[in-house]
């Protein structure tokens, strides 16, 4: 399941042990290509990682907080702190492998 960030509120993502926040926009082609992959991974990694979607047009302050300049921009938070980020489209297996590097 993908949780939607609204009103620039990242508190739930920051409270998670491991969270992925996909900063994107509806008009972004690569973002639309990544969306179904992100959805599949949210099901496969349920219970291990929390997934969030953040529309940069509706959540400017949240995007600024993480210095998002290009989208898609996937921010990986571990225990509330920025652990890593990936900018641009990634195939499913590459994205999954990147996420799994942060499992304990």
3-state secondary structure 41-56: HHHHCCCCCEEEEEEC
Token pair of 56 as six digits: 């940069």
Under a CB-based contact definition with an 8 Å cutoff, are residues 54 and 69 in contact?
Answer: no
Catalytic hit among 16, 18, 21, 28: 28
Catalytic hit among 10, 21, 31, 63: 31
Per-domain residue ranges for the chain?
Answer: 2-94
Q: Is 28 a catalytic residue?
A: yes
Residue 84 pLDDT: 97
Backbone angles phi, psi at 53, to 5 degrees: -120, 135
The tens digit of pLDDT for each residue in 10-45 reads 999 999 999 999 999 999 999 999 999 999 999 999
Q: Is 31 a catalytic residue?
A: yes
CATH of 2-94, one of 3.40.190.10, 1.10.10.10, 3.90.1150.10, 3.40.30.10: 3.40.30.10
């Amino acid at each position: 399941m993908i949780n939607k960030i609204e009103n620039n509120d990242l508190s739930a993502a920051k409270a998670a042990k491991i969270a992925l926040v996909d900063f994107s926009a509806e008009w972004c082609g690569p973002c639309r290509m990544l969306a179904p992959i992100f959805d599949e991974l949210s099901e496969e990694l349920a219970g291990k990682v929390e997934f969030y979607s953040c529309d940069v047009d509706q959540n400017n302050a949240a995007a600024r907080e993480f210095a998002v300049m290009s989208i898609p921009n996937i921010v990986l938070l571990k225990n509330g702190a920025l652990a890593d980020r990936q900018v641009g489209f990634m195939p499913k297996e590459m994205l999954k492998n990147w996420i799994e590097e942060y499992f304990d």
